[in-house]
């Protein structure tokens, strides 16, 4: 998918046209159930906070940077070269972006540069998740890989945002759609199957406690701090995958 298709996709998502509105109403709920523990860290918003890759989202309290000047975006720029001075932001959100950039090391270095000392960055990336281009899709991360990627900052919490059931459900949907060459058929399959299977997502409430859950987790996260003050963690469960079989 090229840049034009990303902008089309976002425009369709937010269009007030009757077709798009009907589509949004019939669209099944998200199959991935986020773990609320992921957000239980004392990393308050400051005067300036940065949200990376939020095209089409209106994120209160953040400067929203994306490649595309779409609704919700405050500054159109690449996260590989952030147009801000150093030590400015208290919080940086980088959610489902690192897999889409050409040079994730440059993005993490830029986040480290613009974070104020003692500020926090939140990274979320897919591990087991279908190919999805925004506008490209270059890679997947293990939890260890994400911690290593965030290396220049101090990792203070990590774990799985969405678990094995999310993985299973999104792949079942993609598998069924792979059999359907016609877009209208894929749209119907997505709607019908999505509504049928979405209640299964709640199995992750139990399953993400399993020590084996990280072997096929869906998205993992890391909270990282730019040196300085001590974090007060309320909870930071980490589903580690046991070594070996
Ligand atoms: C999967 S979407 C993230 C969605 C958003 N975080 C959310 O959860 O709703 C990835 C976003 O990153 C943006 N993006 C991709 N490469 C980028 C880059 N180099 N700099 C800034 N944004 C980028 C894309 O345009 C897209 O809006």
Is there a domain that residue 9 lies in? yes
Ligand 1 center–CA 231 separation, angstroms? 27
Q: Which residues line ligand 1 (CB under 6 A)?
A: 6, 52-55, 57, 65-68, 78-80, 95-97, 100-101, 134
Count of the separate structural domains present in the chain:
1
Cβ(160)–Cβ(213) below 8 Å: yes
Q: Which pLDDT score, from 0 to 100, does residue 31 have?
A: 96
Pocket test of ligand 1: the residue of 74, 97, 124 to mutate, having most ligand atoms within 8 Å of its CB, is 97
Question: What is the number of the ligand 1 atom nearest to the C-alpha of 51?
Answer: 6
Q: Which pLDDT score, from 0 to 100, does residue 69 have?
A: 94
Is there a domain that residue 155 lies in? yes
Q: Which pLDDT score, from 0 to 100, does residue 151 have?
A: 85
Is there a domain that residue 96 lies in? yes
Angle value at C-alpha 145, between 68 and 209, nearest 5 degrees: 100
Q: What is the pLDDT of residues 205-218, one digit of tens each?
A: 999 989 999 999 99
Q: Which pLDDT score, from 0 to 100, does residue 4 have?
A: 66
Is there a domain that residue 76 lies in? yes
Q: Which pLDDT score, from 0 to 100, does residue 24 have?
A: 83
Ligand 1 center–CA 211 separation, angstroms? 31
The pTM assigned to this predicted structure is: 0.89
Question: What is the number of the ligand 1 atom nearest to the C-alpha of 95?
Answer: 6
Is there a domain that residue 137 lies in? yes
Is there a domain that residue 39 lies in? yes
Is there a domain that residue 180 lies in? no
The residue ranges of the chain whose pLDDT is under 70 are: 1-4, 228-245
Q: At what angle do helices 183-197 and 164-178 cross, to 10 degrees?
A: 150
Please report, for the domain that includes residue 54, its CATH number.
Answer: 3.40.50.150
Question: What is the number of the ligand 1 atom nearest to the C-alpha of 107?
Answer: 19
Q: Which pLDDT score, from 0 to 100, does residue 152 have?
A: 87
Which domain, by its residues, includes 64? Answer: 3-14+32-163+213-225
Ligand 1 center–CA 209 separation, angstroms? 30
Is there a domain that residue 238 lies in? no
Q: Which pLDDT score, from 0 to 100, does residue 235 have?
A: 35
Question: What is the number of the ligand 1 atom nearest to the C-alpha of 78?
Answer: 20
């Amino acid at each position: 998918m090229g840049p034009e298709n990303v902008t089309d996709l976002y425009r369709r998502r937010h269009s007030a046209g009757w077709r798009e509105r009907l589509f949004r109403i019939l669209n099944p709920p998200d199959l991935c159930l986020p773990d609320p523990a992921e957000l239980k860290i004392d990393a308050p918003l400051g005067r300036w906070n940065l949200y990376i890759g939020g095209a089409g989202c209106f994120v209160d309290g953040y400067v929203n940077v994306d490649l595309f000047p779409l609704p919700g975006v405050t500054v159109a720029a690449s996260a590989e070269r952030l147009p801000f001075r150093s030590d400015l932001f208290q919080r940086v959100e980088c959610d489902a972006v690192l897999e889409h950039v050409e040079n994730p090391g440059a993005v993490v270095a830029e986040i480290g540069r613009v974070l104020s000392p003692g500020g926090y960055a939140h990274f979320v990336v897919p591990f087991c998740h279908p190919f999805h281009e925004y506008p490209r899709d270059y890679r997947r991360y293990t939890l260890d890989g994400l911690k290593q990627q965030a290396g220049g900052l101090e990792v203070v919490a990590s774990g799985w945002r969405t678990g094995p059931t999310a993985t299973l459900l999104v792949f079942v949907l993609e598998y069924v759609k792979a059999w359907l060459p016609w877009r209208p058929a894929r749209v119907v399959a997505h709607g019908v199957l999505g509504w049928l299977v979405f209640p299964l997502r709640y199995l992750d409430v139990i399953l993400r406690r399993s020590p084996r859950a990280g072997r096929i987790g869906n998205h993992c996260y890391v909270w990282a701090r730019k040196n300085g003050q001590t974090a007060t963690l309320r909870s930071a469960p980490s589903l580690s995958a046991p070594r070996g079989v």
